[in-house]
Structure 1
Amino acid sequence: MESHQPSRNRRPRRLLAALGAFVLPLAMVTTASSPAQADLPPTPEGWNLVWSDDFEGQAGALPDSDDWIVDTGTSYPGGPANWGTGEVQTYTDSPDNIGLDGQGNLRITPRRDASGQWTSARIETQRADFKPADGETLRIEGRLQVPDITGEEALGYWPAFWALGSPYRGEYWNWPAVGEFDIMENVNGIDSVWGVLHCGVDPGGPCNETEGLGDSRACPDSTCQSGFHTYSFEWDRSGSSSQLRWYVDGQQYHSVDEAQIGASAWSDMTDHAGYFLLLNVAMGGAFPDGVQGSATPTDATRPGEPMIVDYVAVWESGSGGDDGGGDDGGGDDDPPSDGVDARSTIQAEDYQGQSGTELESTSDTSGGQNVTRIGDGDRLRFDGVDFGATAAQQFKARVASGSPEGVSGLVEVRLDSPTAEPVASFAVADTGGWQSWQTVPANMSPVTGTHTVYLTFTSGQPADFVNLNWFTFSTD
């Protein structure tokens, strides 16, 4: 949730429908749609609780001032107007906009007065030093329900749970270099959670500003609006290269590696004291306007629907995070128990992250779903793919295309970063129809070990050029 530079002008090419997401075995997962719980979940073995708030207190009270700052007005003093994003509301500390509900929740509620002026609320932690120690993993988590409103009545709603680099306080013009982690964003009542990293320079830079590096997916089991969900972010410094990961209800849907950002930008966003956390519900602004394609909120937007927050917690683990790799004690060529065998048939819809694609039912002999509407710049991410100790040297994929004459592109395999050099690729054009399937082989550079596999798609034209059903790797 950029609250500093005019930035949320992105309009997603397609809303993401990652319904086939892989479930990670995380300890700190709570039931998505169950009622608000009275206490924090227990601290899992091997983790330490750094800080938390479960919003217990008298109904109508503001959150504890020892823990939280309540922001008011339309900007920081001396900072960008309208919090830098074009949002239209004024933040207040009024009980009409913010307060505990007496049942262990915080409620942030947008209102509109008789003259059409919007108000809402935004809070940020007093602490601005949330950062993992070297070799450890920091986990930031919140359990909340976004405003329960959809359709035209939801246009302009922009609830968010996020973190900003501590040097931003008092400066207000050093974004995005100081870093921003958008743990949960939701706009316009859409059943989708966005997780985004902002860094580097604006515009452009390693984080593709002002858009940022992000992914999104639908909430599991119930819509984001209809129930409570747990939104989590991990900053993992346990390996030789740091990684950031985003989860909803324990299911990872986005990650960014240090190598993707580069040493200089990564240092700028991580070598300071740490981060502070924020919760707010904005109305209007570049992100909801961009998704809608026109200005929000509108006359049809209905005020009064709150974001309800059960708890916010920060844990730190000395053992680091689980990247899906490791050895399960089997033979050299055996996949880890929680990994994926590179030599198996990997279904395209079983990705852990994606950008720009959709799912549809397939008429191919395997049945199920295929990934569709794949075009230039789109990608799929598959975590913990184990190639074993015997090098894989061939890549095969099941593809179909109904692209018009002259439209073609490359299907590429990259390891551990979507910007790494491809280890394999093949070209594909019209196969006779979007459900006319062919298995296409390609030689690849020898690969061993366990990797995050990115399938990227490159074309000289903007039109979609391929569907993907499955892929696999082999030694010959």
Structure 2
Amino acid sequence: MRDSSGRKRATLRRAVLAAIGTTVLVAAAATGVVLPASAAAPPTPAGWSQVFLDDFDGPAGSGVDITDWQYTTGTSYPGGPANFGTGEIETMTADPANVSLDGAGHLRITPRRDSAGRWTSGRVETRRGDFQPPAGGTLRTEARIQMPNVTGPAAKGYWPAFWMLGTPYRGNWWNWPGIGEIDIMENVQGLNTVWATVHCGTSPGGPCNETSGIGGQRVCPGATCQAGFHTYAVEWDRSTAVEQMRFYVDGLNFHTVRADQVDATTWTNATNHGYFIILNVAMGGGFPDAFGGGPDAGTEPGHAMVVDYVSVLRSTGGTTPPTTPPATPPTTPPAGHRDAYAAIQAESFDGQSGTATETSTDTGGGRNLAALGNGDWALFRGVDFGSAPATQFRGRVASGAAGGVSGLVEIRLDSRTSPPVGSFSVANTGGWQTWRTVPANITAVTGTHDVYLTFTSGQPADFVNVNWFDFGH
């Protein structure tokens, strides 16, 4: 959420399928089901341990438990960038009118405006700053939240967030974004969209595209983000061959950031330490500015972000990854090696933005990429085409898009911005699980390449699901 330039660019995510059926992942509610207004944190799953939990039980009007949380007040950290580095205009307070329990098991963070037009709000941070996965294990940070229930012009300037900052930021205040930031849930202007972002490297620009960061987004499944509670989570996983951070809403993995998307030094600087957790509602600033600015005279004060619980789980995982490369070259194909002429499962991507996965009813079952629309993409590393040129592409696709909604599935090599070597158009196939194999001619390709599937449409709606693809001569 925070950047030192006061700017954050974002692209408005298109409207998405109202509800997407999916298998629930760890500690998440069923996709598309509106959870009750108050719910206990889910039980700790087998193989995990609870390292932090607050379900915000307490008398109405009382404050947060100060053994677990601390209030951040004012308009900046002492000696840090003004307006918390983002250009937000509110003053953070510990006043129960801004931050308090509601007596029904929730924390409410409520922006207020006084008679002079000055805004106040709330920001709380965990005292603990040691949240990180163990070597070879996984850390899952999750909260069940209803965003401020306000939309349209009345929501102008609202910026609720659930996020984490690298603990070396405490006491320095000027080492962002190198020490890392993990935005699990951000929202602006009352839009039915959740944004998730990893910030790292240097600003502006740098390996993490600051001040935007490495981000993904999607609409909330089922009830809108504002109309109901949803679970928002990140799994920071050191048990995989390549360390990664996976972001979820109601169990749907909609964004993943991998260590190999940036250089090793950048990733290490952002992840070789603990993190602390932050809950806040800002008013105005760089992110709202990207969507029309605010707040203004039409903005309604008094709409709270309501937090049901915050939970942190840890799994010890499997074998600890090696800390140094092997002394001799591997005798097996490197990670990411793929045969261009065998079916490549779409959900096996090595990087993506804007996608989600769901259970597929297609022949052979498994999962498919879902809710794909303009600007989304998926990366598949190390696809081996051999020496005989590949000239064809086949994609297994389905679409339940509305009439008049269609788009292109494009195949690009080695860069998302490379010219497509081929593409094909998809419109409604009869349903989001009504599958067709669509062929396309491509420019002759040999050798080994990273393959990007990119999705382009002139409409804002989702237009395609993808189950698998392959290439042919």
User: CA-to-partner distance for each residue in 1:262-315, whole Å, 9 max, x for gaps?
Assistant: 10100101112x1000000000111011112xx300111000000000000100
Superposed CA RMSD in Å reads 4.1
- SS of match in other structure, 1:269: helix
Quote the residue 1:86 is aligned against.
87
Distance 1:409 1:243, change over 3 A: closer
Distance 1:410 1:102, change over 3 A: closer
Matches within 5 A, 1:34-113: 34-113=35-114
Quote the residue 1:472 is aligned against.
469
- SS of match in other structure, 2:44: coil
8 Å CA contact 2:422, 2:440 repeated in 1: no
| TM-score normalised over the length of structure 1 | 0.75
Structure 2 stretches lacking a partner, 5+ long: 320-340, 356-369, 398-407, 429-436
8 Å CA contact 2:106, 2:309 repeated in 1: yes
Quote the residue 1:324 is aligned against.
none
8 Å CA contact 1:252, 1:352 repeated in 2: no
8 Å CA contact 2:136, 2:238 repeated in 1: yes
Structure 2 distance, partners of 1:318, 1:392, is 45
Structure 2 distance, partners of 1:351, 1:136, is 19
Distance 1:88 1:122, change over 3 A: same
User: CA-to-partner distance for each residue in 1:12-36, whole Å, 9 max, x for gaps?
Assistant: 1x42334386735413112552223
- SS of match in other structure, 2:184: strand
Quote the residue 1:183 is aligned against.
184
The one-letter amino acid of 1:186's match is N
8 Å CA contact 1:193, 1:217 repeated in 2: yes
Structure 2 distance, partners of 1:217, 1:193, is 6
Quote the residue 1:276 is aligned against.
276
Quote the residue 1:455 is aligned against.
453
User: CA-to-partner distance for each residue in 1:23-64, whole Å, 9 max, x for gaps?
Assistant: 354131125522233522100111111111111111111110
Shift in Å, 1:426: 1.2
The one-letter amino acid of 2:14's match is L
Distance 1:131 1:217, change over 3 A: same
- SS of match in other structure, 2:290: helix
Distance 1:473 1:7, change over 3 A: farther
Shift in Å, 1:351: 13
Q: Does the alignment pair 1:120 with 2:115?
A: no
Quote the residue 2:200 is aligned against.
199
The one-letter amino acid of 1:30's match is A
8 Å CA contact 1:137, 1:320 repeated in 2: no
8 Å CA contact 1:153, 1:301 repeated in 2: yes
Matches within 5 A, 1:346-357: 354-355=353-354
Quote the residue 2:311 is aligned against.
313
Shift in Å, 1:453: 6.9
Q: Does the alignment pair 1:262 with 2:263?
A: yes
* Identical amino acids, percent of aligned pairs: 46
The one-letter amino acid of 1:283's match is M
- SS of match in other structure, 1:265: helix
Quote the residue 1:343 is aligned against.
343
User: CA-to-partner distance for each residue in 1:337-378, whole Å, 9 max, x for gaps?
Assistant: xxxx9638979xx9995459xxxxxxxxxxxx99665xxxx4
| TM-score normalised over the length of structure 2 | 0.76
Q: Does the alignment pair 1:5 with 2:4?
A: yes
8 Å CA contact 2:257, 2:351 repeated in 1: no
- SS of match in other structure, 1:252: strand
8 Å CA contact 1:379, 1:454 repeated in 2: no
Matches within 5 A, 1:358-397: 373=374, 378-381=375-378, 395-397=393-395
8 Å CA contact 1:164, 1:277 repeated in 2: yes
The one-letter amino acid of 1:224's match is C
The one-letter amino acid of 1:231's match is Y
8 Å CA contact 1:89, 1:120 repeated in 2: yes
Quote the residue 1:129 is aligned against.
130
Structure 1 distance, partners of 2:143, 2:228, is 14
The one-letter amino acid of 1:304's match is G
The one-letter amino acid of 2:421's match is F
Structure 2 distance, partners of 1:439, 1:425, is 15
Shift in Å, 1:472: 2.4
Structure 2 distance, partners of 1:241, 1:291, is 35
Shift in Å, 1:74: 0.3
Quote the residue 2:170 is aligned against.
169
User: CA-to-partner distance for each residue in 1:373-404, whole Å, 9 max, x for gaps?
Assistant: 5xxxx4423899x99xxx996533599xxxxx
Q: Would you say how many aligned residue pairs link Structure 1 and Structure 2?
A: 408
Shift in Å, 1:319: 2.8
Quote the residue 1:285 is aligned against.
285
Distance 1:468 1:392, change over 3 A: farther
The one-letter amino acid of 1:170's match is G
- SS of match in other structure, 1:310: strand
Quote the residue 1:334 is aligned against.
none
Structure 1 distance, partners of 2:63, 2:410, is 55
Quote the residue 1:23 is aligned against.
22
User: CA-to-partner distance for each residue in 1:215-244, whole Å, 9 max, x for gaps?
Assistant: 100000110000000000010000221011
Distance 1:250 1:95, change over 3 A: same
8 Å CA contact 2:413, 2:421 repeated in 1: no
8 Å CA contact 1:23, 1:252 repeated in 2: no
Structure 1 distance, partners of 2:350, 2:52, is 33
Distance 1:344 1:22, change over 3 A: farther
Distance 1:30 1:428, change over 3 A: closer
- SS of match in other structure, 1:15: coil
Deviant stretches of 4+, over 4 Å: 344-347, 350-353, 369-373, 391-394, 443-448, 467-471
